[in-house]
Amino acid sequence: MRIYLDHNATTPLDPLVADRMTHALREVWGNASSVHHFGQQAKAALDEARGSVASLLGADASEVVFTAGGTESDNIAIRGAAEALEPSGRRHLITSAIEHEAVLNTMKALANRGWRVTVLAVDATGIVSSDRLREAMTDDTALVSVMHANNEIGTIQPIAELAAIAHERGALFHTDAVQSAGKLPLDVRVLGVDMASIAGHKVYGPKGTGALWLKRGVRLAPPSTGGRQERNRRAGTENVPALVGFGVATEVAKAKLSGEGERLTALRDRLEAGILAAVSGSERNGAASPRVPNTTNISIERVESESLLIGLDLAGIAVSSGSACSSGTLEPSHVLKAMGLSHGRTLGSIRFSLGASNTEADVDRVLEVLPPLVEKLRSLTTVGGRK
C-alpha cells in the first residue's frame, strides 16, 4: 500500500465527486448558454455548483467566476486589476516573496511591461509584516496580492490586517487562497479582500477547475476576448461536468471542515514531533502557528531532499521536496530562501502534506522508514562538501 503525503500538490477525487461527474459527463452535456432544454439543464447544474463554491467562501454566487484553476484565477485577478486601473495612473503593484509562481511570474511579466512591482520580504517564520506593507504602499499602488496560506510551509498570513492597509490607500487586495480553501474556514468578507483565488484539485475536485471570487463592484479588464460567459468576465464554453465536480468537492469540504481539521492537526503534529525527536539535525521550517492543519516542512541536515524523496518513494511514501533539480544542480525553494534559511537547510527540506486518506498507521510507517533512511544517506554522501 502506498502512502500519499503530497496533498498540497494535488488531491485525489472524492468518490462522491467522481460519481456526480460521471453522471454529468453522460447526461449534462448541453451548452450552458443555449436557450433550449439541454442548455438550461447545463445552466442549472452550473448554477448549483456556483452556489456551492460561493458557500465555501462565504460569498454570493453572482460574485464567483469559474476558471480553469488557481493559475488562471491569479492571472485574471492581477492582470485584470492592473489593466483596469492603468488609466487612473496607478502603476504600482505589491506582492510577497513567498507567493506561488502563478502570482510571482505574473507580477514579473507586468514589471517587464512597465509596472513598478514591490516584492515584500518575509520574516524567518514566513510571515509578511503589516509594517512592511504600510511602508511599501504609495498613492499609485493599484493592487496588493498576498497569499492566504503558503503551499510549502503552510503558514497563514494576517490577510484582514494587510487588506485594511491596502484599502487605506485606495488599492485593491487579492489573496491566493488555493491552499487554505477546504483546510480553514474561509470567509472572504471577514478577510476583507476584493478578490480570492481557489482551485478544484486541491479540495478533492477535478484538475483544471477553479474560481475567482470577485467582490461586487470590482471591475477587471477581461483577460481574453470571446463570448459573454461568466458575465463577461471569462469567455469560453464552461466545462460543466468538471465544474459540477468542483461544486460537489466544495460541499464535501465545507461539511468536513472542522472535524477533518482537528484530525489532520493531530496526525501532522504527531508526525512532526516524531521526526524532530528521531532524526538528529532536523528542524521545522516556518511558524508552528498559525498554519494550515495538514502541512509540515522539515529540513534535515547533511542530506539532500531529492535523495530523501526518492528513498521514501522507493519505500512507498510520496512526499515533496523543498528543492528542485534544475540543469543538474539543486535549486533551493524560493520560499525557504526568502525566509533567510541557510543554503544547507534549504537543500535538505521536505514537505509532508496530509489529507483525507491518511491514518496513524501512515504516520507510524514514515517514522519507521525515515530515520534509518537519513542515516543511510548520510553514510553514503557528503552534501556539496557541507558534511
Indicate which residues carry an active-site annotation: 325
Site string for ligand PLP, 299-338 (x = CB under 6 A): ----------------------------------------
Q: How far apart are CA 307 and CA 258, in angstroms?
A: 36
Taking CB under 6 A as the rule, does residue 71 contact ligand PLP? yes
Find the shortest distance in angstroms from Cβ 199 to ligand PLP: 3
Taking CB under 6 A as the rule, does residue 69 contact ligand PLP? yes
3-state class of 31 per DSSP? coil
The beta-carbon contacts of 228-236 under 8 Å, at least 24 apart in sequence, are: 228/33, 229/32, 229/33, 230/65, 230/66, 231/62, 231/65, 233/65, 233/76, 234/65, 234/66, 234/67, 234/76
Taking CB under 6 A as the rule, does residue 179 contact ligand PLP? yes
* Block residue for cell numbers 453572482: 62
Cell numbers for 281: 539535525
- Answer for which of 199, 211, 212, 252 binds ligand PLP (CB under 6 A) is 199
Cell numbers for 143: 493592487
Q: Tell me the sheet residues that pair with 8.
A: none
69/371 with CB nearer ligand PLP: 69
- Answer for which of 17, 46, 64, 102 binds ligand PLP (CB under 6 A) is 102
- Answer for which of 13, 24, 82, 147 binds ligand PLP (CB under 6 A) is 147
59/177 with CB nearer ligand PLP: 177
Q: Which stretch binds ligand PLP (CB under 6 A): 34-42, 173-181, 266-274, 277-285?
A: 173-181
Between strands 323-326 and 141-145, the pairing is: unpaired
Taking CB under 6 A as the rule, does residue 98 contact ligand PLP? no
145/346 with CB nearer ligand PLP: 145
Instruction: Let me know: does 214 contact 65? Beta carbons within 8 Å.
Output: yes
Q: Give a three-class secondary structure readout of 245-283.
A: HHHHHHHHHHHHHHHHHHHHHHHHHHHHHHHHHHCCCEE
Taking CB under 6 A as the rule, does residue 362 contact ligand PLP? no
- Answer for which of 13, 52, 65, 70 binds ligand PLP (CB under 6 A) is 70
Sign of CA dihedral 320, 326, 332, 335: negative
Strands (E) located in 158-294? 172-176, 195-199, 210-214, 282-284
For the segment 149-168, give every residue that binds ligand PLP (CB under 6 A): 151
Taking CB under 6 A as the rule, does residue 210 contact ligand PLP? yes
Find the shortest distance in angstroms from Cβ 150 to ligand PLP: 7
Find the shortest distance in angstroms from Cβ 155 to ligand PLP: 12
**H or E element, residue 96:** strand 92-96
Q: Applying CB under 6 A, which residues contact ligand PLP? A: 69-71, 74, 100, 102, 147, 151, 176, 178-179, 199, 201, 210
